[in-house]
Amino acid sequence: MQTRKLGNSGLEVSAVGLGCMGMSFGYGPPADRREMIALMRTAVERGVTFFDTAEVYGPFANEELGGEALAPFRGRVTIATKFGFAPDAVDASKWSRLDSRPVHIEEVAERSLARLKVDTIELLYQHRVDPNVPIEDVAGAVKELIQQGKVKHFGLSEAGAQTIRRAHAVQPVAAVQSEYSLWWRRPEEDLLPTLEELGIGFVPFSPLGRGFLTGKIDEDTQFDSADFRNVVPRFSPEARKANQSLVELLGKIATRKNATTAQIALAWLLAQKPWIVPIPGTTKAHRLEENIGAAALELTDDDLREIESAASKITVQGARYPEHLERMTGR
């Protein structure tokens, strides 16, 4: 597979990574552990070198899964993980409380190192901006971890442009992770220009719209009771019906290119900037192969103009998060 560099950091990874969250968390019951270990190892064999996890996914289970699955490939793969959440004081099973105090960052990093079975975390993100802790203190804490050799690169997730600038002034930010796809394009307004100016890589999560842009979800699709999409406004039956026009657009291009709608959606992302590395998640081997195939799919300038022209006439319906989660983004 082709590789890409995340901005000016020197961190080089596969052009398409693998988001691992859904293997343990968020989309219903956890998948079979042995199958997910096999899937991650297949990904490495197919050229994927960039894997995304977090302490809160499970919690802990996803990091442990990645640590076991990728242990044979140390030095060949980059595992990114995240800090910034903590158990609620009242209900420890819930992890909706933000905590980016420097002492907490250090504790989380130590535990993540053990679960991932690594000596150094290649890329450590702040999962969400904590309004109670100055971002300069957060960046300073990660800078110390980098100086100690426990972390190599610093990242931010769902941070706003001004927060990124302030953090970058203390410790260079290698990558910013946020949602970005044909049905969520707000990063184009302020985020992407800021990253380009500062030389920071961009890692879009949910590049397939949490599965919607694969064309396999319609207004009648039923999700597991534990599936996060049940509370996402954009996944209401009404919104799914209204948003089918975007999938139909991708399907039209896909037919002409002998590809799938998912591959067109990923290829469109890859065509936006050479420092963009999407991390589609999956628990299925055939979807992994499909996503990897997008890296070799070239969209011409005419293809891109056609997509842009048609997409500009489509207004996507529904918020991407419930209100309480939307408040944590773009700070």
| Catalytic sites, residue numbers | 57
Q: How far apart are CA 206 and CA 180, in angstroms?
A: 7
Residue 132 to residue 222: CA distance in whole angstroms: 39
State the CB neighbour count (10 A cutoff) for residue 326: 12
Report long-range pairs for 207-210 (Cβ below 8 Å, ≥24 apart).
Answer: 207/180, 207/181, 207/265, 207/266, 207/269, 207/278, 207/279, 207/280, 208/181, 208/262, 208/265, 208/266, 208/280, 209/181, 209/182, 209/183, 209/184, 209/234, 209/265, 210/235
Report how far apart the first and last C-alpha atoms of the chain are (Å, whole number).
35
